[in-house]
Amino acid sequence: MDNQKPISPRRDPRTVADMLLKEHGVEKALKRIASEKASARRARSRQRFQFWNAISEALAVSERVASSGPEIYKPRGWLDPGRPAANK
C-alpha cells in the first residue's frame, strides 16, 4: 500500500484503530492491518504483531459497538431469560 504513514507502536491501539477508520474506512483499515500483521510475522517481530493484533481487536470491538447501537448489552440466544424454552 502506497503513502502509508508510519504508526508508532507506542500509541494506544484504540486510538490507532479510530484513526484508521476515520482516514481509510473499514475495508482499507482491515487491509492495512492484515498487511502490517503479515509484515510483522515475516520480520518475526512479536511486539509489532501483538500491536497490530490489538489494533485489529480494537477495530472489531468498535465496529460491534457502532453496529449494535444501544442494545449491545442485551443478552441473546439461549442465555436470554425472556426467550421461551424449547419443547422437548
Tens digits of residue pLDDT in 3-42: 677 888 888 889 999 899 899 888 898 899 999 999 999 9
Domain assignment present for residue 30? The answer is: yes
Domain assignment present for residue 77? The answer is: no
Q: Is the pLDDT of residue 52 over 80?
A: yes
User: How far apart (Å, rounded) are the C-alpha atoms in residues 71 and 54?
Assistant: 24
Domain assignment present for residue 25? The answer is: yes
Domain assignment present for residue 76? The answer is: no
pLDDT at 67: 56
Average pLDDT, the chain: 78
User: How far apart (Å, rounded) are the C-alpha atoms in residues 70 and 18?
Assistant: 19
**What's the number of domains the chain is made of?**
1
Domain assignment present for residue 8? The answer is: no
What's the pTM?
0.66
C-alpha cell read off for 11: 500509541
DSSP class per residue in 27-71: HHHHHHHHHHHHHHHHTT-HHHHHHHHHHHHHHHHHHHHHHHGGG
Q: Is the pLDDT of residue 72 over 50?
A: no
2 or 23: which leads in pLDDT:
23
Q: Which domain holds residue 32?
A: 13-67
